[in-house]
Structure 1
Amino acid sequence: MIEKQLWHPVMACMHLREEPAAVELLGTSLVLWREPAHDHAHEPVVHAWVDRCPHRGAKLSLGRVLNHLHGARLECPYHGWQFAGDMAARPAHGESLAVGRCVHVPASPTFEPPASHCATAFEAVERHGLVWVRLERPDRTLVPAVLTEPPVFEPWTDPVWRQLICGPYEVQTSAPRLVENFLDLSHFGFVHEGWLGARSHAQVDTGRVEEGGAGVAVRDCKAWQPKGYAGAEEGGWVAYRYEVPHPFSAILHKDATEGDPVSNAIALFIRPDGSEACTAWFAMATLGDLSDDEELRAFQDAVFAQDRPIVESQQPKTLPIGKDSGIGEVHGPADRMSNAYRRYLTRLGVSLGVC
């Protein structure tokens, strides 16, 4: 299953605080916890482990994080067993221990737990305001090199841009359906009438679609919008650029009307919660928009609230991409980007959320 070899967002970084947190990814229950930085030269380390103590199966997410002298530890809520983070070492000998290794059993303090006494750990990183997790190492014959890291969203790494996270949004549809909606300009005048589009200006310029090993992109597409961003006062033609760097992620760059100094970049990052459910976040980066963060979030919430009933109404909830799906969907000239996205999923061999 290629999906287990890809990076997926599982939680906003701002919601992972001092206590461990429980999340689900592709049917696996995880506990997330952050190991505090031991000095100013190191960043805090985020961990993603199976949410089950190997001793008696209690949920580790009900435990607590201990900032121990010999390295951070996660303590089981049932019997207090302590499991090592990245920087943990055995106090008596000083050698480093593997991530997730049990380092202390309070009921038997002189007992030295063997290597088999460990929690199952996965790779985890923080990118674009989100915690990303990968459940399996990639098979390079199946996974393109560009997908061996989380998607790149350049404005998030540039301090000139203002950045914020919107969400999470729990949606009863597949991740591919939600990505395709994000790529669709022609629904603006109907689903987002008065906000991102108008029925009287329904025509769109679909631009130039590019397909390759790095994913899918479209350049030079345009749509007329009465309110292209949170602080807009009048309508105009807005230029869009889209990128799909990951099967369940998409990025748009949005430049306002000529003479307007506002530019926005929005990345849609999705956690697949099954074949017909997902959780989404928007990582937003803006230049020149004078709206405060809460206004920006309120605008994004309002736009997504218009999308939700439509995408949840689509049947099937999975995206028909296979000739053998038995479900025919017809296409129009404005569907060039979404059709390229469907071909991208087919090339990768994605099976989750499609039919």
Structure 2
Amino acid sequence: MNDIAMIEQQLWHPVIASHQVREAPVACALLGQPLVLWRESAHDGSRVHAWADRCPHRGAKLSLGRVLIGLHGARLECPYHGWQFGGAGRCQHVPAAPDFMPPAGHTAQVFEARERHGLVWVRLGTPEQALDTSLREPPAFPPAGDPAWRVVLCGSYEVSTSAPRLVENFLDLSHFGFVHEGWLGERGHAQVRPGTVEEAGERGAGLVVREAHAWQPRAYAQADKGAWVAYRYDVPHPFAALLSKEATAGDPVSNAIALFIRPDGHEICTAWFVMATQGDTSTDPELIAFQDAVFAQDRPVVESQTPRALPIGRTAPVTEVHGPADRVSSAYRRYLMRLGISVGTC
């Protein structure tokens, strides 16, 4: 992890869908750190734990072990010698020496974990005081506590490009008429209105984009003609972006979508889309199928971009030119530079 800047370790990142962490421990990785995720109980949605996937005794992978539920609560058992670790990470029992009281140093490495939006989020390090408060929790989406929103998780999507490339694609309206022709845009109506971009201060409250407009063939499901559609974008995190569509006259549906990304390296990432709707009569499988189809159009294009890491540094191997419609992506690149993001950039 020597090449990973401290800022990435201080941020929350999605690592896996919550429903994938059930009875057995699960292995995954974040920023080069192998993790084991396990749940205290698979039946009541209880707390998820995220630890380093290494037993402090002899270095075996804890993800090969099992979860024990007993009189003393939930414990994670190491597959090698059966050492049992409680929820705080400390060893509670050594079967080969049952009368031994493990000292405080016999403890697994524990990381913070939260569940939000159907995903498990993990933070590897403690945030510095200078980090903006908006980055001290996983991004909020949709409006907190509003039961009117139906939320559907789509993915995961493993993508051969960097997390910043994928965020920039999500923020880009001007590809709609070409990559998503007939779906989200039309080639003959390629003009976009980038809107106004609000950039926050030095340590990362992110971006807000208001009144961005693109032409869409059908402004909403029951529409029989195209219209200009207004969007709002929020970038609350370097590897996340939120989109909400302002309702068109007569549109009975409100939609919002979030992109959450786990950076797996400089040129690879794993993404999830979270769709939030009000008034949409589509079933959950229909919404997921739609998102799968839209992303299938994006994938070959974003994976074709070179370099895969976003070229924003002074020593980047190439430079990229910009046009008037790139106002939002240019602001996003400045945001990454202000934060000092290194994963997925060059």
In structure 1, what residue type is equivalent to 2:154? C
Match of 1:25 among 15, 26, 30: 30
Partners of 2:167 and 2:221 lie apart in 1 by 22
Match of 2:8 among 3, 23, 33: 3
Q: Is the 8 A contact 1:155 1:285 kept in 2?
A: no
Match in the other structure for 2:133: 145
Q: How does 1:39-188 map to 2 (within 5 A)?
A: 44-85=46-87, 99-141=88-130, 143-155=131-143, 157-188=145-176
1:299 corresponds to which of 281, 286, 290: 290
Quote the residue 2:263 is aligned against: 272
Identity of aligned residues (%): 71
CA separation of 1:66/1:227 partners in 2, compared to 1, >3 Å: closer, same or farther? farther
CA distance in 2, matches of 1:232, 1:185: 21
Matched residue of 1:117: which SS? coil
Code of the residue aligned with 1:79 in structure 2: it is H
Aligned partners of 1:326, 1:275: CA distance in 2, in Å? 14
Q: What is the CA distance between 1:228 and its match in structure 2?
A: 5.4
CA distance in 2, matches of 1:169, 1:232: 30
Give the residue type in structure 2 aligned to 1:56: R
Other-structure match for 2:186: 198
Distance 2:327 2:38 in 1: 42
- Computed over aligned residues only, the root mean square deviation of the Cα atoms, in angstroms, reads 1.8
User: How far is 1:324 from its partner?
Assistant: 2.8
Given the superposition, is the C-alpha separation of residues 232 and 288 from structure 1 closer, same or farther in structure 2, using an over 3 Å criterion? farther
* 1:200-239 map, 5 Å: 200-213=188-201, 214-227=205-218, 234-239=225-230
- Change in Cα spacing, 1:291 to 1:232, as seen in structure 2 (3 Å) is farther
Alignment of 1:289 onto 2:289:
no
How far apart, in 2, do the equivalents of 1:230 and 1:273 lie? 36
Deviation, structure 1 residue 227:
4.4
Distance 2:17 2:216 in 1: 30
CA–CA distance in structure 2, aligned partners of residues 33 and 283 of structure 1:
23
Q: Which runs of 5+ in 2 are unaligned?
A: none
The alpha-carbon deviation at position 229 of structure 1 amounts to: 6.3
Q: Deviations over 1:13-63 (max 9, x none)?
A: 12211211111100000000111399x9xx711100011111222211111
Compute the displacement of 1:336 (Å). 0.4
Provide the C-alpha distance between the structure 1 equivalents of 2:195 and 2:128, rounded to a whole number of angstroms.
35
Length, aligned pairs only: 338
Instruction: Give the letter aligned to residue 157 of structure 2.
Output: Y
Aligned partner of residue 274 in structure 1, secondary structure: coil
1:155 shift after superposition: 3.3
How far off is 1:226 after superposition? 2.0
Within 1, Cα distance between the matches of 2:248 and 2:293? Answer: 22
Of 150, 166, 177 in structure 2, the residue corresponding to residue 189 of structure 1 is: 177
8 Å CA contact 2:142–2:276 kept in 1: the answer is no
1:217–1:242 Cα contact (<8 Å) kept: yes
TM-score by length of 1: 0.91
In structure 1, stretches of 5+ residues that fail to align are: 86-98
Residues in 1 aligned to 2:69 and 2:161: alpha-carbon distance in whole angstroms: 40
